[in-house]
A and B are shown apart, each in its own frame.
Chain A
């Protein structure tokens, strides 16, 4: 009965391809996030989204786009994949509109671009 689930767990693809990572939470949370963890294990927020507002980290290339079909889902689409996109991507959610409630993380998606 996973609270925040991501699929796939592993994703290996070639440069130039377009791929998506799915995220679903069954906690009834209002706010969802995407984070990127690089090879040095440094976490960085990419997007935060609730049903009112999408906040984009300005350092994120516009090849990355979040798509939220409903409150329980926030998928990550990546176009024209590059080698530097290889990382672990984490989805997370919180219960409030502001990020001041406990975070619940998915298990991560390890993306490898060859």
Chain B
């Protein structure tokens, strides 16, 4: 069993929809990262958080340490949000989720 589980694996949404991607982890962590990988392959760090909530533009990330769970929300989704979103946690080492492939249809 993977130390980091993401759901859903694949997600298709209409432009404008509110999107939620979930991440659950089973190890002790010092931080959780949300990463974005576009079809071109490059990986960008969206958020790093260890508690509470962070917001950047239309993206919101939350974490519940007690429940070992984090969510990434995208408001007013746009086709350019189409990418793979990866959850990663750091403790003694890095653990990655398997990613959520998001497609936003115009």
Contact = CB atoms under 8 A, between A and B. Distances in A.
Interface of A: 33, 35, 40-45, 48, 55, 57, 88, 90, 92, 98-105, 107-108, 110
Contacts of B42: 105, 107-108
B72 interface: no
A88 B41 contact: yes
A77 B99 CA distance: 27
B84 to A, nearest CB: 6
Contact of A48 (B84, B93, B99): B93
Interface residues of B, number: 21
Interface of B: 30-31, 33, 35, 37, 41-45, 48, 50, 84, 86, 88, 90, 93-94, 96, 98-99
B84 A41 contact: yes
A105 B38 CA distance: 13
A-B interface, 10 closest residue pairs, ranked by CB to CB distance from nearest: A99-B90, A100-B31, A105-B43, A43-B96, A45-B94, A100-B30, A102-B45, A103-B45, A102-B48, A107-B42
Contacts of A90: 43
A99 B94 contact: yes
A57 B45 contact: no
Given A41-B84, A88-B41, A107-B42, A101 B48 contact: yes
